[in-house]
A and B are shown apart, each in its own frame.
Chain A
Amino acid sequence: GENVEQHPSTLSVQEGDSAVIKCTYSDSASNYFPWYKQELGKRPQLIIDIRSNVGEKKDQRIAVTLNKTAKHFSLHITETQPEDSAVYFCAASIGSYIPTFGRGTSLIVHP
């Protein structure tokens, strides 16, 4: 099955800095790559996703890039704010299979 590795496990930044979280996947047939944000005590919620026919997607301060050749994708958050503090999960799925999740990155934004 698919295997997703996510790094780093913890990321600490100052408010206003950029944050980058990286994920790699094992199956070149994966074609859907969502990112979820989970605030403390809450449920995971989708923040952005990308499909294999697109190299980059942006939504205000967040962006995701996909490198199919290297089988990795990244989440970029610019101008970080304290409310960005949360656990972020990447995932990858192939066709009709349920996505496989990475282990998560705890992002801490210091005011």
Chain B
Amino acid sequence: NAGVTQTPKFQVLKTGQSMTLQCAQDMNHEYMSWYRQDPGMGLRLIHYSVGAGITDQGEVPNGYNVSRSTTEDFPLRLLSAAPSQTSVYFCASSYSAGDEQYFGPGTRLTVT
């Protein structure tokens, strides 16, 4: 099992550009989440999904979109990148909300 995979590992964008961060898991987990990690701020939830076709907003959803067309994939789209979106992004999956979350290796995004 590859677990949770994320691409790309690093990305530099200019303000106003759009892009999609990819996340995939091969553990047949229903729950998937996107977090951003900033110094001193912990892991803040952006969006999450409890199954294919179902998504919901987390703590910091503005400027991001998600979709869940399959159990395996949960892409995160930045609509119009801003410097405030410079961060490390982690995708995670779990069998349910009350179970261990498995994190991907992260994507380091810089917006200039």
| A joins B in a complex | yes
A45 engages B97 (CB within 8 Å): no
Contact A43 to B98, CB < 8 A, known contacts A98-B33, A103-B40: no
A43 engages B97 (CB within 8 Å): no
A103 engages B42 (CB within 8 Å): yes
Smallest Cβ distance from A108 to chain B, in angstroms?
A: 16
Q: Count of B residues near A, CB < 8 Å? A: 23
B100 engages A34 (CB within 8 Å): yes
Which B residues lie within 8 Å of A42 (CB)? 105
A100 engages B45 (CB within 8 Å): yes
B33 engages A31 (CB within 8 Å): no
Smallest Cβ distance from B60 to chain A, in angstroms?
A: 12
Which A residues lie within 8 Å of B58 (CB)? 98
Q: Could you tell me the distance between the alpha carbons of A100 and B41 in the complex, rounded to whole angstroms?
A: 12
Binds B, one of A56-64, A67-75, A77-85, A88-96: A88-96
Q: Could you tell me the distance between the alpha carbons of A1 and B57 in the complex, rounded to whole angstroms?
A: 12
Which residues of A are in contact with B by a Cβ distance under 8 Å? 1, 6, 9, 31-32, 34, 36, 42-46, 49, 51, 89, 93, 95-104
Q: Can you show 11 pairs from A to B with CB atoms below 8 A apart?
A: A9-B40, A32-B98, A43-B90, A43-B103, A45-B103, A89-B42, A96-B97, A98-B48, A99-B97, A100-B45, A102-B42
